[in-house]
Amino acid sequence: MNKMKKISYIMIVTLLCTILNVGQVELAKAASPSVEYQAHIANEGWKSYQSDGATGGSTGKSLSLQALKVRIRGISGGITYRSHLSNIGWTSWVSNNCQTGTTGQNRPMEAIQIKLTGDAAKYYDVYYRVHVSNVGWLGWTKNGNMAGSTGCSLPMEAIQIKLFAKNKGMATSQSSIKIPELTVQAHVEDIGWQKPVSENMVSGTTGRSKRMEAMILRCSDFMGGSGIQYRAHVQDIGWQNWCNSGICSGTTGQSLQMEAVQIKLVGKISTVYDVYYRVHCADYGWLGWACNGESAGTTGGGIRMEAIQIKLVRKETSVSRGGSAYMDLKGKTVAAFQMPLAGARCTWRSYTNWSWGNNSGAGGSRVYHLGVDIIGTSDNVTATANGTVAQCGYNGANGNYVVLKHSISGQTVYSFYAHLASYSVKKGSTVSKGTKIGTVGNTGSSSRGKHLHFAMMNTLWNGSYYGYSTYFTGNKTTYAGVTYYNPVYVVQNNRLP
């Protein structure tokens, strides 16, 4: 009997404990818990407590949230949180109405993480979202995820916090933002699409006389979507339509040079950052920095763009422009000619005047050079000016050669390129100044080794152009019915002698 009483006693105690525990759990689940929070904001200090989704802090006043206290009521367990502070980073976790952030230091909070502990975490989720300067309300997040921004110097201004029964809450969305990433990708003559590069890096080429033909910029807005728009001024086309992030501006496969660009930010990012950009142009090099939709480059002069740099700068940051970013060359005298080799120099250092008019002394004869023999830092031979291909081919004297037709001050002039290893143009095609037309070689009657014979004359002659004549002086001479001009003089003076 005593044994039965003992068993009954144990069963009753166990049942009572189970009922008690279930009651506690049901009490925790059945209660109407709330979350309360107190914000400290710039210029106004601590505000009154808010609860259950009400706004703590301020909006529309540009006052940063600098400190915060959070507590829960009506449920066992606790709440813990930490903040990301300007120029400091993440603080340590604090709990249950302790302060995160600072007071008296004018140091904005930029982001926050909040999570429940104990029984509260078992039966409830904590949701929160923040209002960020210049951006507005971000999306809701929950249970320790980040809300706000890091690295953008964007202060939090307000916060809303809610509790929901476990897995019974609302949908979440983008709750945080980061420093925008900007990339630029250039399409370059003879190269094609280069790899994308980050801001401040050079896209395109310099020192190689290659035209930039197209570009793709990529930059998202803080909350998604395109954060940038841009357009190109293209040879023979003019200004194209505006493109959004990731779209090609310019042309490919048409051998048309870009000449100028305009770039601007759109969306929320445009309220925080300015976009600066500069271009490298033939004959002028790097121009100054343009900003927020201004033109960079040249128009009206047929000057090719060769490279570009872009950077994002926080608003109200001082930036040195470094001179004019854009030139309208319509109706102005433009350097129409350039040397056909990058870094051009005379092949034979003992020659004067780039070998123009020099006595060759070949075979004991006294014959005088009707052009210049040059080499450069690259073997790419480029058009000295805008023009058309008047003739190209091969003969025994000149080897592979190209003749281009140009106009200068209303007069027709032909440029001549001889001893080429190869040429890459066809008769009748149009070329722009700096367009590659061939490569340096040693073909034909060439006794000087690998070099380019470069000449200019007034007539297209169907035979072989002469490389030498009888004695002459000055920067032009007529021989066998053709007037030859010192090509270096033409390049340097932008006119015929």
pLDDT tens for each residue of 343-396: 888 776 555 556 666 655 444 444 577 888 888 888 999 999 888 899 999 988
CA–CA dist 43, 349 (Å, integer)? 75
For domain 345-493, the CATH class is: mainly beta
Residue 112 is inside which H or E element, if any?
Answer: strand 109-117
Which of the four pLDDT bands, split at 50, 70 and 90, describes residue 19?
A: very low
Q: What mean pLDDT is predicted for residues 226-245?
A: 96
User: In the prediction, which pLDDT does 105 show?
Assistant: 95
Q: What backbone torsions phi and psi does residue 363 show, to the nearest 5 degrees?
A: 60, 25
> Which one has a higher pLDDT value, 223 or 240?
240
CA contacts within 13 A on the Cβ side of 176: 17
> Which one has a higher pLDDT value, 351 or 262?
262
Q: For residue 358, what are the contacts with CB-CB under 8 A and spacing of at least 6?
A: 351, 352, 368, 369
Q: Average the pLDDT over each of 10-19, 337-346, 428-437 and give the range with the smallest value.
A: 10-19
User: In the prediction, which pLDDT does 205 show?
Assistant: 94
User: In the prediction, which pLDDT does 28 show?
Assistant: 44
Which of the four pLDDT bands, split at 50, 70 and 90, describes residue 132?
A: very high
* Per-residue pLDDT reduced to its tens digit, 152-173: 889 999 999 999 999 999 999 9
> Nearest Cα to 293, choosing from 238, 230, 346?
230
- Does the pLDDT at position 82 exceed 50? yes
User: In the prediction, which pLDDT does 27 show?
Assistant: 42
Q: Average the pLDDT over each of 123-132, 236-245, 255-264, 333-342 and give the range with the smallest value.
A: 333-342
Q: Please give the C-alpha separations between residue 312 and each of 1, 111, 270, 276, 296, in angstroms, as whole numbers.
A: 89, 22, 10, 6, 16
CA–CA dist 426, 435 (Å, integer)? 13
**CA 207 from centroid of its chain's CA atoms:** 20
DSSP of 271-310:
GTEEEEEEEEETTTEE---EETT-EEEEESS-PPEEEEEE
Give the 3-state secondary structure of residue 2: helix
Which of the four pLDDT bands, split at 50, 70 and 90, describes residue 24?
A: very low
User: In the prediction, which pLDDT does 374 show?
Assistant: 84
Q: Average the pLDDT over each of 224-228, 335-339, 416-420, 491-495 and give the range with the smallest value.
A: 335-339
User: In the prediction, which pLDDT does 12 show?
Assistant: 58
pTM value surpassing 0.85? no
Q: What mean pLDDT is predicted for residues 318-325?
A: 89
Dihedral sign, Cα of residue 228, residue 136, residue 165, residue 66: positive
Q: What angle do CA 373, 375, 377 make, to 5 degrees?
A: 160
> Which one has a higher pLDDT value, 12 or 478?
478
CA–CA dist 351, 359 (Å, integer)? 9
DSSP of 34-83:
EEEEEEEETTTEEPPPEETTPPEE-SSS---EEEEEEEEESSSSEEEEEE
> Percent of the chain, pLDDT > 70?
86
Which of the four pLDDT bands, split at 50, 70 and 90, describes residue 107?
A: very high
Which of the four pLDDT bands, split at 50, 70 and 90, describes residue 139?
A: very high
User: In the prediction, which pLDDT does 434 show?
Assistant: 82
Which of the four pLDDT bands, split at 50, 70 and 90, describes residue 491?
A: confident
User: In the prediction, which pLDDT does 376 show?
Assistant: 85
Q: For residue 225, what are the contacts with CB-CB under 8 A and spacing of at least 6?
A: 267
- Does the pLDDT at position 479 exceed 90? no
- Does the pLDDT at position 332 exceed 70? no
- Does the pLDDT at position 190 exceed 60? yes
> Nearest Cα to 459, choosing from 476, 442, 434?
476
CA–CA dist 143, 135 (Å, integer)? 23
Q: What mean pLDDT is predicted for residues 173-197?
A: 94
Dihedral sign, Cα of residue 434, residue 436, residue 437, residue 441: positive
Q: What backbone torsions phi and psi does residue 149 show, to the nearest 5 degrees?
A: -145, 155
Q: Where in the chain is the domain with CATH 2.70.70.10?
A: 345-493
What average pLDDT does the structure give for the chain?
87
User: In the prediction, which pLDDT does 358 show?
Assistant: 64
